[in-house]
Amino acid sequence: MELPKNDWRIIDASYAYVAEDTYLSFGQTAKKGAQITVVSRIRLNSKKELTIAVPNATALFLNASARSWKEAKEIRKRNGIDSVIGREREFSSQSGVFDYLERVIESVIMAFSGLEAFVNEMIPDNYRYETHRRSEIILDIMDKEQIERHLSISEKLELVLPDALKTKSPKGRNFWVDFVKLRKIRDRIIHMKTADRESSGPDNPNLWHDLFRVSYPHRQALKMVDFFLSEMNYHPQWRQTCPLR
């Protein structure tokens, strides 16, 4: 039997197939071997509906991050920013500068969003997190929805996932430093300060300086993802077929 060709970004739940011919409630029959695809039906307007396959959010965001990073590198290369000849550098136009910054910002935000999506997805539905968060006397017990909403991604990575999944903590490892850098620059983008709108020199750096020193945001996120997957010996389909490098 030839299985349908899925895009690698499809949600893993769609890698399921009908074992026997099955009658469906809306009058159709799913033949043996037919793929069971998780879909979302979207009402476009009063007369039209759209049905789409549901993607894996982590894969979707990381792919967007990698694409934006590739485009940023191409812009940087065209403008000779990393040429070894001479000291001073400049873009050929203002639009080139801004196009580059847009792509890097997109890459950072998408990489961080992909990591957030992964963390929330990996928390088991029935998991409860116990912590003396507000008091050494009062024990807080949080369910998955409360964890997703109220805890920072750093706490989820350092404490929640290791406890929920029975893995080691990633804190203190080399890629934890990369995660902290990614988190900090993402936060600086989202919460841009007044200083980032003023003139600056090489000795008083701001956000724009740091955006020119960012490196492969999607790889930084993938290192954290791969740590937990290897600890769990878990190989989701999207990661097995992921073309990102």
Predicted local distance difference test score (pLDDT) of residue 45 = 96
Q: Would you place residue 10 in the very low, low, confident or very high pLDDT band (cuts 50, 70, 90)?
A: very high
Question: What pLDDT is stored for residue 23 in this prediction?
Answer: 64
| Residues in CB range of 4: below 8 A, 6 or more apart | 35
> What's this model's pTM, rounded to 2 decimal places?
0.88
Is pLDDT above 90 for 49?
yes
Q: Mean pLDDT, to the nearest integer, of 41-47? A: 94
Helix (H) or strand (E) holding 24: none
Does 212 have pLDDT greater than 50?
A: yes
**pLDDT more than 70, % of the chain:** 89
Q: Which of 29-38, 79-88, 143-152, 234-243 has the lowest mean pLDDT?
A: 29-38
For the chain, the 3-state helix, strand and coil shares in percent, each to the nearest 5, are 50, 10, 40
Instruction: Give the Cα separation of 33 and 19 in Å (integer).
Output: 6
Q: Where are the domains of the chain?
A: 12-53, 57-240
Residue-level pLDDT at 1 = 40
Give me the chain's average pLDDT, please: 90
Segment of 37-46, 61-70, 140-149 carrying the highest mean pLDDT? 61-70
Token digits of residue 48: 């039209």
pLDDT at 140: 82
